[in-house]
Structure 1
Amino acid sequence: MYQGALIKMKTEYTAPINYYLVFRNDFIHMNQLLDREIKLSFVSYECLNCHLDKPIYRQGFCKSCFFETASAGEWIIRPELSKAHLDEEDRDLAFEKEMQLQPHIVYLALSSDVKVGVTRKAQVPTRWIDQGAHQAIEVVEVPNRYLAGITEVALKEHMTDKTNWRKMLTNELIEADLVAEKDQLDDFIPEEVKPYYLDTNQKIYDLEYPVLQYPKKVKSLNLDKTPEYSGVLKGIKGQYLIFEDNTVFNVRGSEGYVVNLAVN
């Protein structure tokens, strides 16, 4: 029996990817639980910022923290709104400079479809693993989050910037040549970003997930509606646990929920 507040699983880029669930006092190698029955029980809430037992609003934060903490600034979801390079504060300039003024990658990833996205260079390939991508390629490497954001805005006029999580979890993969897809984007990159285009870097990252059985039609587990659930773990992909009865559980989407986890 384990207990702790959920945060997104730690990952290790291996073949297949290794997943670890980290609680305050426990460290669980989730791959070792494949084909075993797991029982999840909701206990309470724990905001990732104030650590109080208050209902989670979004991204693991209670409502007040979501609108106050620098870790939930709008620039995180919309990088084109980043302003630290202008020395302008959103919520906490020191934090924003630390996060925004570092190398960022604009990439293409193949999960449900070919999508464009942004991540800090330090988060390669973790970001792609969290999205459940099977392949990824870097398009540009820029010195700050703002430049990555305006590039993403320009490129998503020509392709999606979203992952269809249901198609990703049922493993409905399309055929795509990421190198060819990347080569088609050169004309759409903003002029101020063109010098950062990675024209000689055509490396494709391949990602393999520990999945024994994909669901045919996914049923999402919501701990607010179903505070107790038991099922046989059949796979892990993205930040989802996949169970034998087609139930899927989004660990990252449940950050801040304190649970008991029992393994049979």
Structure 2
Amino acid sequence: MTYQGVLSKMQTEFGNPIQYYLVFENSFLNMNQLLNKEIEIKFEGHQCLNCTKKKKIYRQGFCYDCFYASPAVGDWIMKPELSTAHLGIADRDLDYEQKAQLQPHIVYLALSSEVKVGVTRKTQMPTRWIDQGASQAISIVEVPNRYLAGITEVALKNHFTDKTNWRKMLQNDIVDLDLIAEKLKVQTLLPAEVQEYFHLEKNDLYQLDYPVLTYPKKVSSLSLDKTLHFQGKLVGIKGQYLIFEDGTVFNIRSFEGYVVSINI
């Protein structure tokens, strides 16, 4: 059976294990049901996730023109400390940015390889943690806008990484640390304007369980720019990665906007 469509990040459903769905315009795949099965992936072309034109993808599923014009990929997305909507100052589109930035945000610690600090909108819990392949996560503070979350993350970057080691994450090579204890250490590190949002009693620790049959000892990344056709047995899904029996891993997020056909 063949499915065809434009890749976008897999939709997820929190559960034991997490459920993954690859959603196309007219169909979808529950990827968990494909575990231990041979699947074939073929590159068919490009389609910008923003303008839908069949143009080469530049970054994050967007063509070059859309990447530098759309408010959905402004610098404040990757660097929350650059947010200015709370000041009434636009980056690209103030209305869009106010809706996105002026809502509750969480600064968190997650365990995906080592302890990582990050920022997400409250509505994205626990999706954000699933997307990065975290095995555990805990919120540090809940603040009313993206700017406050950003300056908190910047302060904590001196003590924690803000990147996931994707190889270690996929090999399940994870440090064994107590995230609740780590949270207790950070209160004195928070910016003064964020101190009031720190609450010790909010120690809800998320445990995340991924549908992985076997973890690879070595990983090699599949690129649709170099390999136009790939076939292999799916043995796991973690973060936004498909893990195959031969150690090949495919990051769906890296190839958003690529048109593929998937044969099962």
What TM-score results when the alignment is normalised by the length of structure 1?
Answer: 0.99
Where 1:199 maps in the other structure, the secondary structure is coil
Determine the structure 1 residue equivalent to 2:58: 57
- Aligned runs of 1:1-264 on 2, under 5 Å? 1-263=2-264
Give 1:99 deviation, angstroms.
0.4
Q: Are 1:218 and 1:247, in contact at CA under 8 Å, matched by a contact in 2?
A: yes
Give 1:198 deviation, angstroms.
2.4
- Give unpaired runs (5+ residues) of structure 1: none
- Give unpaired runs (5+ residues) of structure 2: none
Where 2:130 maps in the other structure, the secondary structure is helix
In 1, distance between residues paired with 2:18 and 2:8?
A: 18
Q: Which letter maps to 1:96?
A: E
In 2, distance between residues paired with 1:215 and 1:62?
A: 33
CA deviation digits over 1:9-59, x for unaligned, max 9? 000000000000000001110000000001000001000111111111110
Give the ranges of 4+ consecutive aligned residues of structure 1 lying more than 6 Å apart after TM superposition: none
CA deviation digits over 1:175-225, x for unaligned, max 9? 100011011101110000000112211111000000001111101000010
What is the alpha-carbon root mean square deviation over aligned residues?
A: 0.5
Q: Which letter maps to 1:78?
A: K
Where 2:225 maps in the other structure, the secondary structure is coil
Q: Which letter maps to 1:55?
A: K
Where 2:175 maps in the other structure, the secondary structure is coil
Q: Are 1:138 and 1:198, in contact at CA under 8 Å, matched by a contact in 2?
A: no
Give 1:159 deviation, angstroms.
1.1
What TM-score results when the alignment is normalised by the length of structure 2?
Answer: 0.99
**Fraction of identical pairs, as percent:** 63
Point out the more displaced range, 139-148 or 192-201. Answer: 192-201
In 2, distance between residues paired with 1:125 and 1:158?
A: 23
In 1, distance between residues paired with 2:22 and 2:160?
A: 33
Q: Which letter maps to 2:100?
A: M
In 2, distance between residues paired with 1:180 and 1:167?
A: 23
In 1, distance between residues paired with 2:105 and 2:199?
A: 12
Q: Which letter maps to 1:28?
A: L
Q: Are 1:141 and 1:198, in contact at CA under 8 Å, matched by a contact in 2?
A: no
